[in-house]
Amino acid sequence: MNIEAFRARRNRLLAQMERGVAVIPTAPERARNRDTHYPYRFDSYFYYLSAFREPEAVLVLVAGDEQKSILFCRDKDVEREIWDGYRHGPDGARETFAFDVAHSIGKFDEMLPDLLANQPTLFHSMGHDDAFDARIVAALNRVRANTRAGQHAPTQIRDVRAMVDEMRLIKDEHELATMRRAAAISAEAHRRAMQATRPGRHEYEVEAELLHAFRRGGSEFPAYSSIVAGGANACVLHYVENDAMLNDGDLLLIDAGCELNGYASDITRTFPVNGRYSGPQRDVYQLVLAAQAAAIAEIRPGRHWNEPHDAAVKALAQGLLDLKLLEGSLDGVLESADYRRFYMHRTGHWLGLDVHDAGEYKIGDTWRPLVPGMMLTVEPGCYIRPADDVPRAFWNIGIRIEDDALVTADGCELITAAAPKRIEDIEAVMRDAHQ
């Protein structure tokens, strides 16, 4: 791990703060049932600035003349380490992760008032964890109670997450290297899923192939719940049951990506259960692929956030008119938004430590311009539910194609391009697997 990259981020944030104290806790552990916990996942903001993965930790950054970064974390505990594994302890963490100072998390509530006293600004993001907010409020009130001793409490509270969001939006080399590796693992997982798919198998059997490839590649978790949706299930946008049998003649939509060292990847592919696209499936697939190509062509510096979406919508609307699934003129369909019956979500989102990553999409009233180093998904789709006014041949065709795009100096790079996408490539992968 490149600890210097994390220290450099802390220093950039400290420089922006000018004067004041930032308090950034990691995520709490969460019980699943009785004494069993969900697998622990650190808070993305905390990790971005610390590289520290243990629970029960808080980062405090003091900006100003006596600038320093302080970690509060669990003590070493020989007994607990026998049961739960290694703990760095404050001294070990300070040295390994290059903090200026580290203390026991047991001292946090006691020390916080002194850290806040006589500082103009508290940088904290309220409202994400009520229990932690209450500790901040208690510390503020302890400083306020001390005014007769000459102390004063911060008079401003600023949202530190909003400041870090701006930093997280532009990926550094360290992040890009990790995201490329995550993308490669996920692309391999989709290929493996294509090879394993047959009529009569179940969605969960294909999901197992994805999970195998994720874990084998070194990923800790899926970045989000995998969607493995055969036939009509593909028209349920957040389908997660993954328990149905796969039928000859149906499509299979898979939206799945791994998380690697905290970074998400996010890929969707849609392919025929039997390895050959039927005529109507082919028509809709080519339409979605063309819409994705139109969106990708708009991902470059100088374009704004919404231009890829507008391009995808326009291509889809024209294609739906050509297929006679919509009636009227292109302008009319765009104006009325009738296409929403078949395409009801947006074409992408920022991608990074969170699958729907940090960062505003508008600055004031205008869409944010794309600049090199941003990572976004490009994921148009078309979902056709049974209806009297829709030819039966199109019923239950649900298709989405999703890649992860890095904005470069003169366009974009699809870091997920290794996942087969053209009809002939997908059919060839499946044909080879069936032989």
Catalytic residues: 35, 238, 255, 266, 345, 349, 356, 379, 383, 400, 402
Total Cβ atoms within 10 A of residue 37: 11
| Chain positions contacting Mn ion, by CB under 5 A | 255, 266, 377, 402
Residue 224 interface partner, choices Mn ion, ligand GLY, none, CB cut-off 5-8 Å depending on type: ligand GLY
| Chain positions contacting ligand GLY, by CB under 6 A | 224, 255, 266, 349, 355, 379, 402
Nearer to Mn ion, 54 or 379 (CB): 379
Residue 21 interface partner, choices Mn ion, ligand GLY, none, CB cut-off 5-8 Å depending on type: none
For the CA atoms of the chain, what is the radius of gyration?
Answer: 25
Tokens of 149: 């001793």
C-alpha span between 354 and 45 (Å, rounded):
10
**Minimum separation from the CB atom of position 379 to ligand GLY (A):** 6
**Minimum separation from the CB atom of position 122 to Mn ion (A):** 34
**Minimum separation from the CB atom of position 214 to ligand GLY (A):** 14
Nearer to Mn ion, 160 or 374 (CB): 374
Determine the length of the chain: 435
Nearer to ligand GLY, 69 or 186 (CB): 186
Residues 363 and 216: beta-carbon distance below 8 Å: no
245 DSSP 8-state letter: B
Residue 17 interface partner, choices Mn ion, ligand GLY, none, CB cut-off 5-8 Å depending on type: none
Segment holding 289, helix H or strand E:
helix 279-296
**Minimum separation from the CB atom of position 184 to Mn ion (A):** 17
Q: Strands 20-25 and 263-264, how do they pair?
A: unpaired
Residue 209 interface partner, choices Mn ion, ligand GLY, none, CB cut-off 5-8 Å depending on type: none
The HSE-up count of residue 47 (CA atoms within 13 Å, CB side) is 17
Nearer to ligand GLY, 203 or 402 (CB): 402
Residue 259 interface partner, choices Mn ion, ligand GLY, none, CB cut-off 5-8 Å depending on type: none
**Minimum separation from the CB atom of position 225 to Mn ion (A):** 10
Which residues is 383 bridged to in the sheet?
398
Those residues with Cβ within 8 angstroms of residue 168's Cβ, 6 or more apart along the chain or in another chain = 44, 45, 48, 352, 353, 357, 358, 359
Those residues with Cβ within 8 angstroms of residue 269's Cβ, 6 or more apart along the chain or in another chain = 190, 193, 194, 253, 254, 401, 402, 419, 420, 421, 426
Nearer to ligand GLY, 125 or 270 (CB): 270
